[in-house]
């Protein structure tokens, strides 16, 4: 999902431009050298078929973070491109309107069998994208990173079954995550929506 190095590209009426110096300082602050490693290594799944993993995912829950502030819902789309994975993350408000997006690129960590990736939304800074749970049919995925400060639960559908949800919540404490810290997002129907907020406003002004 959204790396701590990502930034939304809001439409013109919503835009807030940050000085480049602030972006650089933020990226340096949130880079790997500023994180505090967890005492226990974070396990990942044995391997990931990136061709099967590609496509659209809906964010079901996450550890709240400042770079997704205001996102009542979110989605991610992954596309294989040569030796990397192209990433499109989108943010939605409570009405299901798209209010921002971020594009990036991910590359698998050598020797990880694609279970660990490095994602960049702002070159040359990269964030960790470690797949710690993955349904055998690729129906849901749980993504974390070594410090346990970030976590995302993703699904191919807008909701999880009760069984899948309980399976995930039962496993998280065994790898150092606290389910009570999860922020549960608003379900998004990608087939129905998703209207750009700026475009909707333009239509109202006509």
Which range, of 8-17, 42-51, 173-182, averages the lowest pLDDT? Answer: 8-17
Q: Which of 190, 71, 76 is nearest to 131 (CA)?
A: 76
- Taken in order 10, 15, 19, 25, is the CA torsion positive or negative? negative
The two three-digit tokens of residue 159, written as one number: 């909701």
- Judge whether 42 lies within some domain: yes
User: What is the Cα–Cα distance from 146 to 137, expressed in whole angstroms?
Assistant: 25
Q: pLDDT tens for residues 66-110? A: 889 889 999 999 999 988 999 999 999 988 899 999 999 999 999
- Judge whether 6 lies within some domain: no
- Judge whether 58 lies within some domain: yes
95: CATH: 2.40.128.20
Q: What is the pLDDT of residue 50?
A: 97
Please tell me the total count of domains within the chain.
Answer: 1
Q: pLDDT tens for residues 129-188? A: 999 999 999 999 999 999 999 999 999 999 999 999 999 999 999 999 999 999 999 887
Question: Residue 195 pLDDT more than 90?
Answer: no
Helix (H) or strand (E) run with residue 200 in it: helix 197-205
Question: Residue 33 pLDDT more than 50?
Answer: no
- Locate the DSSP E strands across 17-175: 55-63, 73-81, 84-92, 98-108, 116-122, 125-134, 140-144, 151-155
Q: What is the pLDDT of residue 20?
A: 27
Band (30; pLDDT cuts 50, 70, 90): very low
Q: What are the angstrom distances between the C-alpha of 54 and each of 138, 154, 178?
A: 10, 13, 28
Side-chain-side CA neighbours of residue 31 (13 Å): 13
- Judge whether 16 lies within some domain: yes
Q: What is the pLDDT of residue 2?
A: 53
Of 125 and 171, more confident? 171
Domain that holds residue 112: 12-205
Q: Which of 130, 172, 164 is nearest to 44 (CA)?
A: 130
- Judge whether 5 lies within some domain: no
Of 124 and 119, more confident? 119
- Judge whether 1 lies within some domain: no
- Judge whether 90 lies within some domain: yes
Of 202 and 80, more confident? 80
- Judge whether 101 lies within some domain: yes
């Amino acid at each position: 999902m959204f790396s701590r190095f990502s930034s939304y590209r809001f439409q013109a009426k919503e835009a807030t431009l940050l000085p480049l110096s602030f972006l650089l300082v933020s990226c340096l602050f949130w880079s790997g050298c500023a994180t505090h490693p967890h005492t226990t290594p974070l396990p990942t799944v044995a391997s990931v078929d990136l061709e099967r993993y590609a496509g659209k995912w809906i964010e079901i829950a996450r550890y709240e973070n400042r770079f997704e502030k205001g996102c009542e819902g979110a989605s991610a789309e992954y596309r294989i491109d040569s030796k990397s994975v192209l990433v499109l993350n989108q943010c939605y408000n409570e009405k299901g309107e798209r209010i921002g997006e971020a594009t990036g690129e991910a590359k698998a960590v050598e020797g990880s069998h694609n279970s660990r990736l490095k994602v960049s939304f702002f070159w040359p800074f990269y964030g960790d994208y470690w797949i710690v749970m993955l349904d055998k049919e690729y129906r849901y995925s749980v993504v974390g990173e070594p410090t346990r400060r970030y976590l995302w639960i993703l699904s191919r559908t807008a909701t999880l079954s009760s069984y899948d949800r309980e399976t995930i919540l039962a496993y998280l404490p065994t790898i150092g995550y606290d389910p009570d810290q999860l922020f549960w997002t608003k379900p998004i129907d990608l087939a129905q929506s998703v209207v750009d907020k700026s475009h909707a406003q333009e239509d109202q002004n006509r």
